[in-house]
Amino acid sequence: MNRVDRPLAALPERQTGFNTGTGAIETVNWLGAWTLYSREVRRFTKIFVQTVLAPMATTVIFMLIFTIALGRVRGDIAGVHFIAFLAPGLVMMAVIQNAFANPSFSILIAKTMGSIVDTLMPPLTPHELVLGYALGGATRGLAVGAASAIALSFLAPLEPVQIGVVLYFAFGAALMMALMGVIAGIWAERMDSLGIITSFVIMPLSFLSGTFYSIHSLPVFFRTLDRFNPLFYLIDGFRSGFIGHADAPFWLAATVVAGTIVVLWFMAYRMVATGYHLKS
């Protein structure tokens, strides 16, 4: 078996980032992780109009449609105007979709073109590989979210009342969805496989997570079902930082987000460490 065909777990210690000169002390290859992260950021900034401005425009169009169609007839939700309730949810939806798209597409294209080996060969540990891809995706998600928030601020009041809560759920959402993107990119073997995940998992979960409504307006069955949707806690927590009201307790939402990130990180790490769908 040659070097390229061997899974990451079977590579020499130098390939997995261990310092053998001091007795197998694990070190962090910050330069390598930063290089991978920088590459992922440059990849989407080179086509800024497509990767940032286009999703921002889509978010604004959603806002305009709801403003024109329902803004005058829809009553207040949670004590705030419907438009003020809707805007944070649309911003978070933009973060979710774009943080997922960046690493999933990048990894799948690298596998399809056979260039993934160029990423696996340098002395990077599985954790460092996951870190580089995940932070790259999170950066795109936050960039689109920030651009969308600026654009929507001209159409709706978007003034944080709890900036710490807003930042926690914004960064938590970006990282969570980027990790999902890493897992999806590794798992998918063709573009249509990735399309299935996007169309039948990510989109339904984001649209059915309280973006356009409060879950208290749902029947009991669907309200209970929404409690098992981690994206609900992202949108609900993020929105609460703007309007001061949440459908779920802050401690519960924060715990679900942190716990989901830990689980997704472990899954992504194991997939990279074992070379799952990466070495063929």
- 23 against 158, higher pLDDT: 158
Q: Looking at residue 66, what is its pLDDT?
A: 83
Query: Taking 80 as the threshold, does the pLDDT of residue 3 lie above it?
Result: no
Q: Tell me if the pTM is above 0.85.
A: yes
Across the strands, what pairs with 19? 25
- At residue 276, φ and ψ (nearest 5 deg) are -60, 120
Average pLDDT, the chain: 87
Cβ 235 vs Cβ 93: under 8 Å: yes
Q: Note the Cα 112 to chain centre separation in Å.
A: 22
